[in-house]
């Protein structure tokens, strides 16, 4: 397939394909005139790249998954990333809970709300992340 066909079938710009090739993520099989050509496996590689990026992996992490014998996906890297995502979800849920409390708090002002004052104290001391982790439990 030439680069235009790969771009069309993958939904990625040709410039992205050239960048991925420069970074060593994909490799062209040659040229057809001035256009790069790629094997059929490039679409699977591009899908893996997209999936890895959606999971928050860096291009360097993703490049390490490609070997001459095909993709080798490190399960430990995936488990570590899943743990990071789980921690982020817990933190975001705690933040949402705090914001919802601030919206519904019956105190006359936020500055009179004990929960809001605890959040302020955590932010002032630089321990807000620890506060969110505890609130998520």
At 6-53, the pLDDT tens digits run 999 999 999 999 999 999 999 999 998 888 999 989 999 999 999 999
Reference 48, options 69, 29, 71, 68; nearest CA is 71
Q: What is the mean pLDDT of the chain?
A: 88
**Contact between 118 and 107 (Cβ < 8 Å):** no
Six token digits for residue 132: 């969110």
Question: Length of the chain in residues, anyone?
Answer: 137
Distances in Å between the Cα of 119 and the Cα atoms of 8, 15, 92, 122, 124 are: 50, 46, 15, 5, 9
Q: Is the pLDDT of residue 114 over 90?
A: no
Residue range 83-113, pLDDT digits in tens:
999 988 988 888 888 888 888 889 898 888 8
Beta bridge partners of 32: 35
Q: Are 3 and 37 in contact (CB under 8 A)?
A: yes
6: nearest Cα among 32, 56, 73: 32
């Amino acid at each position: 397939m030439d680069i235009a066909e790969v771009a069309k079938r993958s939904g990625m710009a040709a410039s992205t394909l050239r960048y991925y090739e420069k970074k060593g993520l994909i490799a062209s099989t040659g040229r057809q005139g001035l256009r790069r050509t790629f094997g059929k496996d490039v679409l699977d590689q591009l899908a893996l790249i997209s999936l890895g990026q959606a999971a928050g992996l860096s291009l360097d992490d993703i490049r390490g998954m490609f070997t001459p014998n095909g993709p080798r996906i490190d399960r430990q890297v995936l488990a570590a990333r899943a743990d990071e995502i789980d921690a982020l979800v817990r933190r975001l849920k705690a933040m949402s809970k705090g914001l919802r409390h601030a919206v519904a708090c019956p105190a006359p002002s936020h500055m009179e709300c004990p929960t809001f004052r605890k959040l302020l104290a955590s932010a002032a001391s630089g321990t807000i992340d620890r506060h969110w982790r505890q609130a998520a439990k």
